[in-house]
Amino acid sequence: MAIRVNRAGSDQPLIPDIAGVTSIVFSELSKSSLKSPFEVAVSHFATDGLPRPNIEEFLSHLRSLGKVAGKDSVRGLSAKELIDIDTEVCEILSRIVGQDLPGTGTPYHNLAAWIGAVERAAPVEVFTTNYDLLMEEALESNRVPYFDGFVGSRSTFLDLQSMEDGRLPSRWNRVWKIHGSLNWYEDAGGNIHRGQSSDTLSAGKRRVIYPSHLKYDESRRMPYLCMIDRLRYFFKNIAPVIITCGFSFGDQHLNEILVQGLQGNPSAAVFALLHGDLSRYPQIVTLAENRINLNVLAKDQGMIGSRAAAWTQGKDSRSCTDTTAIRWVTDPVNATLKNAQFLLGDFGNFALFAKELIG
Domain that holds residue 90: 4-97
Question: What confidence score (pLDDT) does residue 196 get?
Answer: 66
Predicted TM-score (pTM) of the model is 0.89
Is 320 domain-assigned? yes
Residue 226 DSSP SS3: helix
Instruction: Check whether 214 has a pLDDT greater than 90.
Output: no
Is 252 domain-assigned? no
Inter-axis angle of helices 55-69 and 79-97, nearest 10: 150
Average pLDDT score over the chain: 90
Question: What confidence score (pLDDT) does residue 144 get?
Answer: 97
Same domain for 83 and 169, yes or no, is no
Instruction: Check whether 202 has a pLDDT greater than 50.
Output: yes
What type of residue sits at position 54? N
Same domain for 218 and 172, yes or no, is yes
Single out the residue of 96, 177, 176, 192 nearest to residue 130, CA to CA: 177
Cis peptide before 102 (omega within 30 of 0): no
Same domain for 131 and 74, yes or no, is no
What type of residue sits at position 308? A
Is 103 domain-assigned? no
Question: What confidence score (pLDDT) does residue 197 get?
Answer: 58
Give the burial string for 22-43 (b: 16+ CB within 10 Å, else e): beebbebbeeeebeebbeebbe
Domain's final residue, options 203, 218, 234: 234
Domain's final residue, options 173, 206, 234: 234
Is 45 domain-assigned? yes
Residue 64 DSSP SS3: helix
Number of domains in the chain: 3
Is 173 domain-assigned? yes
Is 247 domain-assigned? no
Question: What confidence score (pLDDT) does residue 201 get?
Answer: 59
The whole-angstrom separation of Cα 154 and Cα 141 is: 22
Burial of 59 (0-12, 13-18, 19+ CB in 10 A): buried
Question: What confidence score (pLDDT) does residue 191 get?
Answer: 78
Is 197 domain-assigned? yes
Same domain for 129 and 80, yes or no, is no
Same domain for 85 and 131, yes or no, is no
Banded model confidence at residue 213, pLDDT cuts 50, 70, 90 = very low
Same domain for 93 and 183, yes or no, is no
